[in-house]
Amino acid sequence: MSTTTQRARPRFRLSAAQLPVIGTFVVLALMLIVGGLRYDNFLSARMLGNLLINNSFLIALAVGMTFVIITGGIDLSVGAVLALSAIVTASTLRDGWPIEVVLPMAVLVGSTIGLMHGLIIHIFKVQPFIATLAGMFFARGLCFVIAPESIAINDESFVTLTGRSIAFGSSGFRLTVAVMIALALVLLAVYILHYTRFGRTVYALGGGEQSALMMGLPVARSKVLAYVVSGTCAGFGGLLFAMFSRSGYALTGVGMELDAIAAVVIGGTLLTGGSGYVLGSLLGVFVLGLIQTIITYEGTLSSWWTKIVIGVLLLIFVVLQRLLSRKRE
């Protein structure tokens, strides 16, 4: 008699941290299905392309915000930094600066403010909420000092750059330069968070700073760098918004930091830190963009319904996160 031993097949299991992202994907899929059934041409390639184009700058903000929230922090300045970066772009191009200097300068503005936030938070032990709130007022004030009125961008090189795109046949779907930059930021952020020591330290910081220190991780440097990343992404966001609107205005981006936070949380990142995914934040941006698109297609609803629906979704996802956290405890 011979006996055979069968090995148990490994079963695929979703972790609790992945469930909110799956929930976001389900919500997004349901919105696409309902929109496709209710409205003509809703699922057209042109609409999907416009969804990316109209939200490219918010994607950049959400990418940077993901890093900060995973560490357990927050960055309230990104909307104002976006406006400052756009104004720097518009004003320097108006004054005849070469585009090769203007583009990196716009991003560097955000990086510098992010570095300032990180150093203040680390050295002086200031709460991120307070430090970045001060940075928000600082950046917004600089916007009005530089240009109290809207500045149109008429630079030929910049206009040509913003007009370039890759079209996919006659479907109407196209990728502009701004969209390609935003998606490149997403891919780079995914690599950094999941395949570098800095990324692992970012997650460890959210799990507990003291534990990260005991593990010998570079806590101080990583905390500062997280805010530099957020500021840099806000700088890119300002540049992308300047490409989108071809202008710079001091009141641009008011409240956009809240949209970025909402996208990140709806995308599954825990506000308490330690868990989150950049791709989830990207899905969160798509959810926010689709809400606005559906309300536009409806035609009879006020644009304020966008905020109402976002608020309800945000509350649902925060409660879901809390329930999952209790289950893990």
Q: What is the 3-state secondary structure (H, E, C) of 145-205?
A: HHCCCCEECCCHHHHHHHHCEEECCCCCCEEEHHHHHHHHHHHHHHHHHHHCHHHHHHHHH
DSSP 300: S
DSSP 231-278: HHHHHHHHHHHHHHHSEE-TTTTTTHHHHHHHHHHHTT--TTSS---H
Taking 50 as the pLDDT cut, the residues of the chain under it are 1-2
Task: Check residue 224 and give its pLDDT.
Answer: 98
AA identity, residue 283: L
Task: Check residue 10 and give its pLDDT.
Answer: 52
Dihedral sign (CA 129, 130, 135, 141): positive
DSSP 301: S
Tens-digit pLDDT profile for residues 212-262 = 999 999 999 999 999 999 999 999 999 999 999 999 999 999 999 999 999
DSSP 11: P
Tokens 């941290």 sit on residue: 17
Under a CB-based contact definition with an 8 Å cutoff, are residues 98 and 77 in contact?
no
Residue 148, CB-side half-sphere exposure with 13 Å CA sphere: 1
Task: Check residue 324 and give its pLDDT.
Answer: 74
Dihedral sign (CA 70, 67, 230, 257): negative
Q: 19-29+42-328 sits in which CATH class?
A: mainly alpha
Contacts of residue 99, defined as CB under 8 A and 6 or more positions apart, other chains included, come to 93, 155, 157, 158, 161
Cα separation, 120 vs 232, in Å, equals 17
Reduced DSSP (H G I as helix, E B as strand, rest coil) percent helix, strand, coil of the chain, to 5: 70, 5, 25
- Let me know if 176 is exposed, middle or buried by CB neighbors in 10 A (0-12, 13-18, 19+): buried
Cα separation, 142 vs 79, in Å, equals 13
AA identity, residue 329: E
Strand pairing class (165-167; 151-152):
unpaired
Contacts of residue 137, defined as CB under 8 A and 6 or more positions apart, other chains included, come to 80
Cα separation, 264 vs 286, in Å, equals 11
Task: Give, in order, the Cα–Cα distances in Å from 223 to each of 213, 318, 320.
Answer: 12, 24, 27
- Single pTM value for the model: 0.94
Residue spans per domain, the chain: 19-29+42-328
Task: Check residue 119 and give its pLDDT.
Answer: 98
